[in-house]
Chains A and B, each alone.
Chain A
Amino acid sequence: GAVVSQHPSWVICKSGTSVKIECRSLDFQATTMFWYRQFPKQSLMLMATSNEGSKATYEQGVEKDKFLINHASLTLSTLTVTSAHPEDSSFYICSARYVDTDTQYFGPGTRLTVL
């Protein structure tokens, strides 16, 4: 149980385009999901907390107009990287909060490369 999927697993795009990443909790409902970014050999960095039916809460220094988050259902949150640039290339990982144990389960991640 407590499986989280992400799609796509990797994406390559041109500078200036937008990319949407989906995060789904497959066997449980998640009112809260989280989006992280991780650069090579660095720590996880929380970008934002996504709550179903309400606006996401962004961490300090994360541009909300650049990283659009939508949590439209209890099993789906999306992250859209708008007008992507090479410096946005990173490993984006979502997690979903499993209420029963108050535990975060992570998706497999999406590797974004912006050319």
Chain B
Amino acid sequence: QKEVEQNSGPLSVPEGAIASLNCTYSDRGSQSFFWYRQYSGKSPELIMFIYSNGDKEDGRFTAQLNKASQYVSLLIRDSQPSDSATYLCAVKETGGFKTIFGAGTRLFVKA
């Protein structure tokens, strides 16, 4: 059973701080990794994807990938109250079309 593990949280950070969200996965052959944000009552929206080891930056978001450790993370700089949501880590399965989603980490950014 392929798994994606996330700390359910809630993770609480003050406004302006860096929020760090972590994820581990079991499928060693996975090549594609995604972070989605889901506000309460809404569907997930893609934040960013990463395929290569290292860091990938997009605005206030940085995704980090370490395939050897089977670890993906998302950093949110200058956190804002509007960033309060559930963040889903997702890993595309090897050799198929399905993407395995973690259960999500709830983030609260306090004003």
B-contacting 9-mer, from A13-21, A70-78, A82-90, A103-111: A103-111
Residue A93 at the chain B interface, CB threshold 8 Å? yes
- Subset of 17 A-B contacts with CB under 8 Å: A43-B101, A43-B102, A43-B104, A44-B88, A44-B101, A46-B101, A91-B41, A93-B43, A97-B97, A102-B32, A103-B32, A104-B34, A104-B46, A104-B90, A107-B43, A108-B42, A108-B43
Chain A stretch 47-99: residues in CB contact (< 8 A) with chain B: 49, 91, 93, 97
Task: Report the separation of the CA atoms of residues A97 and B101 in the bound assembly, to the nearest whole angstrom.
Answer: 15
Cβ-defined partner of A32 (8 Å) among B32, B49, B97, B102: B97
Task: Report the separation of the CA atoms of residues A103 and B90 in the bound assembly, to the nearest whole angstrom.
Answer: 10
* Partner-A contacts on B (CB < 8 A): 32, 34, 36, 41-46, 49, 88, 90, 92, 97-99, 101-104
A-B contact count (CB 8 A): 39
User: B32 to chain A: which residues have CB within 8 Å?
Assistant: 102-103
Question: Which size bracket describes the interface of A in this complex?
Answer: 10 to 19
- Shortest beta-carbon distance, A34 to chain B, in Å? 8
